[in-house]
Each structure stands twice: as structure tokens, then as C-alpha cells.
Amino acid sequence: MLSKVQKWGNSQGIRIPKNLLENSHIKIGEEVTISAKNGKIIVEPTHKIRGKYDIKDLISKMPNNYEVEEENWGTPSGREVW
């Protein structure tokens, strides 16, 4: 596949076809790592390390009308019977 380096503002860019992105498991808007090695440009998906969650941030994302529902786990059996 041939592509052409183009000037975009003060930068240069290469258009990457959708099927090539999909095969590389890279999504639009996702960060990538770009490096050069032995005269080749290498573009790799960035693997983010999941950080710790803040309970206040998680709760702030809950809908205002959220209500806890009780789960029916069936009748007790085995050592669950008191």
C-alpha cells in the first residue's frame, strides 16, 4: 500500500486506511507511540496502565434517579441455611 506524506499546518502526516487501523487494534482518537528504528517509522498502540478509582468521581457519574434493586438469589441451600 502506498501513501504520501502531506503537510498539515506546521506538521506532516500520513493518512492511515480504516482497515489497517482495525487490523492494528488502533481506534480513532487513541494515543499511539511513534518511533523510528533502522530507517522505519513504527506506530504502536499505547497500552495505558489503569489507575486507581476515586469513589467521589464514580458516584458523581451515577444517574440522579439511580435506585438500588434487591437481587433474588433463590432459597438458601447447603451451609447457607441458618
Q: What is the pLDDT of residue 15?
A: 92
Q: What is the pLDDT of residue 52?
A: 79
Burial grade of 16 (CB within 10 A; 0-12, 13-18, 19 or more): middle
Coil, helix or strand at residue 73: coil
pTM: 0.49
Residue 26 lies in a domain: yes
Q: What is the pLDDT of residue 74?
A: 87
Q: What is the pLDDT of residue 38?
A: 96
Q: What is the pLDDT of residue 50?
A: 67
CATH classification of the domain holding 60: 2.10.260.10
| pLDDT tens series, the chain, 82 aa | 888 999 999 999 999 999 998 888 888 888 899 999 999 999 998 876 667 788 888 899 999 998 888 999 888 888 877 6
Q: How far is Cα 26 from Cα 59, in angstroms, rounded to an integer?
A: 30
Q: What is the pLDDT of residue 48?
A: 66
Residue 80 lies in a domain: no
**Amino acid of residue 4:** K
Range of the domain at 28: 7-67
Q: How far is Cα 65 from Cα 10, in angstroms, rounded to an integer?
A: 48
Angle 28-31-32 from CA coordinates, rounded to 5°: 105
Residue 1 lies in a domain: no
